[in-house]
Amino acid sequence: MEEQKMAHIQLNYFSNALIKDCQMDVLLPQMTADHPDWDEAKLTDIPVLYLLHGMSDDNTSWLRKTRLERLVKNIPIAVIMPNADLSWYANTNYGLNYYDAIAIELPQIVHEFFPQISTKREKNFIMGASMGGYGAYKIALSTNHFSYAAALSGAFNPSGSNTTLESFRSQNYWDGVINQRSDFENSPENLLHVVQQKLALNESMPKLYAWCGKQDFLFQDNQNFVNDLTNLKISVDGEFTNGKHDWYYWDKFLENVLEWLPIGYVPEERLC
């Protein structure tokens, strides 16, 4: 198969929500003389996948640690990878409003710089790993901007009950990023509470995908959350297989998510 080309843009921009300079990496499909299949009509109103990073990563991680660019090279889709630091995609207690910056402001900025990217809900998707998986679900469930949301090893329960997750940072850190941890049941950071609010408003649910490895320290949290959603008659696609909290598995299951999304994924030709 002839290879299409993707443009990679490293973009610095100013966030009014954070009142600071921020970064994102962007992949865009590109017309080339060698491959005229992607004409102007095909590259208008193109779908977009927002990819969110985890606690120890940044906006470059999906490009550096997975096959992402190679896997999407034959699909007319944009990929947006923002930097959210260690924020848990929250409006933090220390005054940096990362939820507003990523969930609300970022899609507006993306469309301002790249008007060929669709603003239609059915063409906007979001995905993340670990903290990013939590962020993807939180943003998709608390807004009406995304029609599909996927999480790999999603850190779905930052309530303080997972001792391994808790051990990664000090209590001062957790108090800074997770609002109302002392009343997590009714907290805006509690995904189950966000789901129940969405149901109460009779809003359309995004389609959901989840993967977590059985050897992952987040496995029980994933299983519990999927069971909670099932009890609310919300279906979640995906699977639990052997695997750890590791980029090897996130890279492997990235392709499963691309196949799951309504983007006409074209797999690589593999002879073995």
Supply the pLDDT for residue 39. Answer: 82
pLDDT at 242 over 60: yes
Tell me the C-alpha to C-alpha distance, in Å, between residue 162 and each of 94, 106, 166, 206, 219: 23, 30, 6, 27, 11
Domain ranges (residues) in the chain: 5-260
Give the integer Cα–Cα distance in Å for 242 and 213: 5
Give the integer Cα–Cα distance in Å for 241 and 225: 16
Supply the pLDDT for residue 35. Answer: 64
Query: Confidence class of residue 269 from pLDDT cuts 50, 70 and 90?
Result: confident
pLDDT (tens digit per residue) in 79-136: 999 999 999 999 999 999 999 999 999 999 999 999 999 999 999 999 999 999 999 9
Amino acid at 225: F
Question: Residue 48 in contact with residue 117, Cβ under 8 Å?
Answer: yes
Supply the pLDDT for residue 31. Answer: 83
Supply the pLDDT for residue 168. Answer: 96
Q: What is the mean pLDDT of the chain?
A: 95
Cα 98 to chain centroid distance, Å, stands at 14
The two tokens of residue 215 are 């050897």
Average pLDDT of the segment spanning 31-39 = 74
Q: What is the DSSP letter of 58?
A: -
- In CATH, the architecture of 5-260 is 3-Layer(aba) Sandwich (3.40)
Query: Confidence class of residue 2 from pLDDT cuts 50, 70 and 90?
Result: low
The two tokens of residue 240 are 């639990």
Angle at 26 between CA 21 and CA 32, to 5 degrees: 140
The two tokens of residue 150 are 């996927």
The two tokens of residue 68 are 């992402």
Give the integer Cα–Cα distance in Å for 234 and 203: 13
pLDDT at 214 over 90: yes
- Using DSSP, state whether 81 is helix, strand or coil: strand
- Reported as type and span, the H/E element at residue 50 is strand 48-52
